[in-house]
Amino acid sequence: MKRILILAGAMLMLSACGNKEKGFDATGIFEATETTVSAEQTGTLLSFDVEEGNEVEAGVQVGLIDTTQLWLKLQQLDATKAVYESQKPDTQKQIAATRQQLQKAMQEQQRYRELVADGAAPSKMLDDATNQVKVLQRQLEAQLSTYNTQLSTLNSQQVATDVQVRQLRDQLQKCHILTPVGGTVLEKYAERGEFVATGKPLFKIADTRQMFMRAYVTSAQLQDIKLGQAVTVFADYGDGQRHTYEGTITWISSRSEFTPKTILTDDERADLVYAIKVAVKNDGFIKIGMYGEVKLGVEK
């Protein structure tokens, strides 16, 4: 009788284990937003303080490309601007003599007009004085036009030089290698002293403080999830050890795909699944590529 009870108890335990639900609804791999930083200028890397595994903040300078040639071109343009400035005519001084002659001619014209009116001078003298005024007026207009054209040309050349100066300053700024985001340096592609060309990758960085899990759900599960939904995420360390995190669904694929061979789903017979992304705040234990699990709900 005792043996029968033991056997019945064992069968009950096996039955309970077989009916026990899984502690997750989908599995996936942890990812991070990765950014590859490339050289924006050509030259020698004078400094490059980057090592794989380093934690860096956003906007920090980690390297410098040689700026000598750009700096010399900038000095040359500054000198060119000074030359253009010195060539600008002082219009008022240039036309001062003509203005004075015109003023005197207009006075003579008025004097002859009064003399002719009194009959003290012939009208030809007034005609000559009037003609002289007109000649000087046209001469003044021609001088003003010439000086304004010259000034306009020099101003245009100076504006073009200013644009070149701004371009060089922008290029100088791009010689300073800055981290675009804060995170962890994943890979390093160059070393100090190397000659790099524009576009050459220098290092790769990832924001590991805000991680994502890419998981896959079946169409049956799809009706139970939505953007912004809170879920429970487990980081699996193997041997039954795992950490629990709060996650939020930030992306749901609008297109189905065949089940990846490395991914398990709640319905293993399903051929088509939908990818989702779950955002998780990393406490330092989650690593890129680590296996994890998602429970569609928040554990109390």
Domain assignments of the chain as residue spans, ordered by start: 23-33+207-295, 38-67+175-200, 68-173
User: Which residues lie closer than 8 Å to 53 by C-beta, 6 or more apart?
Assistant: 184, 185
Rounded distance, CA 165 to CA 4, Å? 95
Answering whether pTM is above 0.85, one says: no
pLDDT score for 48: 97
Query: 207: closest CA among 278, 275, 282?
Result: 282
One-letter amino acid at 36 equals: T
CB atoms within 10 A of CB 168: 20
Interval 96-151: pLDDT, tens = 888 889 899 899 889 888 888 888 888 888 888 899 989 989 988 888 888 888 88
Architecture of domain 38-67+175-200: Beta Barrel (2.40)
Low pLDDT (below 50) residues in the chain: 1-20, 268-269
23-33+207-295: which CATH topology?
Elongation Factor Tu (Ef-tu); domain 3 (2.40.30)
**Cα(220)–Cα(209) distance, rounded to whole angstroms?**
32
Cα angle 284, 287, 289 (rounded to 5 degrees) comes to: 165
Residues in Cβ contact with 59 at an 8 Å cutoff, skipping those fewer than 6 apart: 178, 179
